Each structure stands twice: as structure tokens, then as C-alpha cells.
């Protein structure tokens, strides 16, 4: 399943550059959460976009069945939107990892702005309330010891991982026995049904998206389930929430029509301009059933 190649270093740098360049604009325009929103089970509830993003976090937590956590790893943390939310909600110690130094720095600033202490992971035991650490670390090879976290959260970062098996293996390694892993990620449709393998046109659609968002490739939720089981996760559950989140892209399009946002996109640079073009691919990808929003939870 791994597609690790000699170009991986370059690929990692591309992801880093993409988020280094675009994160400030994203925060200014869309806030601290760099993920879809939740528009009700039917996907038809209309609400404030930021509220929809917070609702997605809450709905995912409900689905994860995690009611308490002391130590949390946020894999692909962006500017710490979820990390700080979870640290505060559970009064937990949380580490956020990202490939982007700009994001790690901004996430640390945001922790200070919210009065959440910054603590090195090694000193978490000394923190008496919630505490966080943000660092630039590749999720495929982290410095954290085995069995470090009782909740591992990956919100829309799995699609960036060039080695899906390595990614889930690393999450499993770091999870404490009895802990929960929760992933929400972009997938393509299932292929082991009457719809059959991806058509050439569908492959072309995905290839364009990969280029624009710096994704190595995506897989189906069923494939993630197989990998998770092979890696050792137990109590596996999966769900497809495409319908619940799909409206997000319409919300993004509406806000991107603001002249200030358009100016910001052009100021941010070429990577961001290219990223904007991907919005149409996401919208049509969802409507033709090709792009799916997958959830997976597992225990150790």
C-alpha cells in the first residue's frame, strides 16, 4: 500500500510550503479550523460556517465515544484549532504536530492568547491543568515513545500521508492500551461493489485534486479499515459522513466571493491560488459520489 519514493522529501516540502503560505489567509478568512463543517445528518441544516466546524468536532467526539482523555495527540494539527479545543474540553495535555513551521508557531501563539500553558511533552506530568505543545514533526516518524497518548485525533490529515499503512502503524504505536484513535479523512468511493473500479475519468479528477492540494493519493474507507485491522486496532468502526459535510464547500465558495478574500488569495501566492482551484473539484467530486468523507475509530 505504501507509495514512498525518492521524491517523498520533496513532497513533504511541498505540503509544508502549501501550509506555510496559506495558513494566515485561511485563519483571517475562515478562522482556526481547517476542516469541513457538520450540517446535520441530512446535510441540510444551514448555520454559521464556523459553528458548523465546531459542530463537526463535537459530533466526531460523540461518535468516538471518548468522554475523558488525559494525553492527546493531534496528528496534522494545522494552527491548533482542534488541539486547543480538545485540551480545554478534556482539561488534557495535548501535542499538535504539523509539517508547517508557520502553523506550529501560530498554534503556540494562539495557546498563549487563550491562556493555555505551553509545556514540553516530557514535562507534561508537571502541568497541573491543560497544557499543549506544538511541533514540526512528520506523523510517519514521531519522537514520542510507544504508548504515549490515550486519545489520538487526526482531522483531515490522512489524505496527505504518502504511506497510509505507516501512518496508522505509527498512530497505533503511540496509542496507550485502552486508548482511542479517531480519524476523519478524505477518501474515494468504494470500488468493491457494482460501481466497480475507478473509471479513467474519476482517476483524472482525483489526479487534478492531488496536484492542487498536495495529496499523494487517497484510498477508500474500506481500505483504511483493512489497514487498521492489519496494524492491530480493535473495536473498529467506520462511517461515511459525506452527506453531513458536503455543504461546506458551498460555504467556502460563498465567502471566497468577497473581494477582500480574493485579494488575499492573490497576495498569499501561487500555491494558494492553485489551492482555490481545487474547490470546484471538491464540490463536483462530492456530487458525483467520487469523493467521500470517511470516519474510522479504533482501540488498542
Ligand X SMILES: C[S@@+](CC[C@H](N)C(=O)[O-])C[C@H]1O[C@@H](n2cnc3c(N)ncnc32)[C@H](O)[C@@H]1O
Residue 6 or 125: the one with the smaller Cβ distance to ligand X is: 6
**Residue 84 binds ligand X, judged by CB under 6 A:** no
Q: Which of 33, 93, 164, 205 binds ligand X (CB under 6 A)?
A: 33
Q: Per-residue contact track with ligand X, 98 to 137, x per CB under 6 A?
A: xxx--x----------------------------------
Looking at the chain, which runs of residues are DSSP E strands? 71-75, 93-98, 117-118, 131-136, 149-155, 175-188, 234-240, 291-299
In sequence order, the 6+-apart residues with CB closer than 8 A to the CB of 202 are: 188, 288, 290
**Residue 76 binds ligand X, judged by CB under 6 A:** yes
Q: Which of 22, 64, 71, 82 binds ligand X (CB under 6 A)?
A: 82
Residue 30 or 198: the one with the smaller Cβ distance to ligand X is: 30
**Residue 157 binds ligand X, judged by CB under 6 A:** yes
Question: Which set of grid coordinates corresponds to residue 29?
Answer: 478568512
- Residue 249 CB, shortest distance to ligand X, in Å, is 13
**Residue 161 binds ligand X, judged by CB under 6 A:** yes
Q: Tell me the CB-side half-sphere exposure of residue 132, using CA atoms within 13 A.
A: 33
**Residue 64 binds ligand X, judged by CB under 6 A:** no
**Residue 252 binds ligand X, judged by CB under 6 A:** no
In sequence order, the 6+-apart residues with CB closer than 8 A to the CB of 285 are: 205, 206, 209, 291
Q: Tell me the CB-side half-sphere exposure of residue 224, using CA atoms within 13 A.
A: 32
In sequence order, the 6+-apart residues with CB closer than 8 A to the CB of 63 are: 182, 239, 295, 297
**Residue 185 binds ligand X, judged by CB under 6 A:** no
- Residue 201 CB, shortest distance to ligand X, in Å, is 26
- Interface with ligand X by CB under 6 A: which residues? 15, 19, 33-35, 76-78, 81-82, 97-100, 103, 138-140, 155-157, 160-161
Amino acid at each position: 500500500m505504501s507509495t514512498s519514493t525518492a521524491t517523498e522529501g520533496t513532497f513533504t516540502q511541498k505540503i509544508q510550503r502549501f501550509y506555510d503560505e496559506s495558513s494566515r489567509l485561511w485563519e483571517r478568512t475562515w478562522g482556526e479550523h481547517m476542516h469541513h463543517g457538520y450540517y446535520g445528518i441530512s446535510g441540510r441544516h444551514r448555520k454559521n460556517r464556523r459553528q458548523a466546524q465546531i459542530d463537526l468536532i463535537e459530533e466526531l467526539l460523540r461518535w468516538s465515544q471518548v468522554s475523558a482523555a488525559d494525553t492527546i495527540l493531534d496528528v496534522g494539527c494545522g494552527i491548533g484549532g482542534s488541539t486547543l479545543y480538545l485540551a480545554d474540553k478534556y482539561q488534557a495535555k495535548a501535542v499538535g504536530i504539523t509539517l508547517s513551521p508557520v502553523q506550529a508557531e501560530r498554534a503556540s501563539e494562539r495557546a498563549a492568547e487563550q491562556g493555555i500553558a505551553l509545556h514540553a511533552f516530557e514535562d507534561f506530568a508537571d502541568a497541573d491543568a491543560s497544557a499543549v505543545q506544538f511541533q514540526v514533526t512528520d506523523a510517519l516518524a514521531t519522537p514520542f515513545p510507544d504508548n504515549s497518548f490515550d486519545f489520538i485525533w487526526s482531522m483531515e490529515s490522512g489524505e496527505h500521508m504518502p504511506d497510509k499503512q505507516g501512518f496508522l502503524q505509527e498512530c497505533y504505536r503511540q496509542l496507550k492500551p485502552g486508548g482511542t484513535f479517531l480519524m476523519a479523512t478524505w477518501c474515494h468511493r468504494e470500488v468493491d461493489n457494482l460501481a466497480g473500479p475507478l473509471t479513467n475519468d474519476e482517476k483524472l479528477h482525483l489526479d487534478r485534486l492531488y496536484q492542487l492540494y498536495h495529496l499523494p493519493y487517497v484510498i477508500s474507507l474500506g481500505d483504511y479499515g483493512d489497514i487498521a485491522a492489519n496494524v492491530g486496532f480493535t473495536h473498529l468502526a467506520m462511517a461515511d459522513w459525506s452527506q453531513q459535510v458536503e455543504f461546506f464547500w458551498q460555504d467556502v465558495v460563498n465567502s471566497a466571493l468577497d473581494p477582500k478574500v480574493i485579494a488575499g488569495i492573490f497576495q498569499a501566492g501561487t500555491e494558494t491560488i492553485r489551492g482555490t482551484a481545487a474547490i470546484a473539484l471538491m464540490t463536483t467530486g462530492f456530487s458525483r459520489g467520487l469523493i467521500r468523507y470517511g470516519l474510522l475509530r479504533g482501540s488498542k
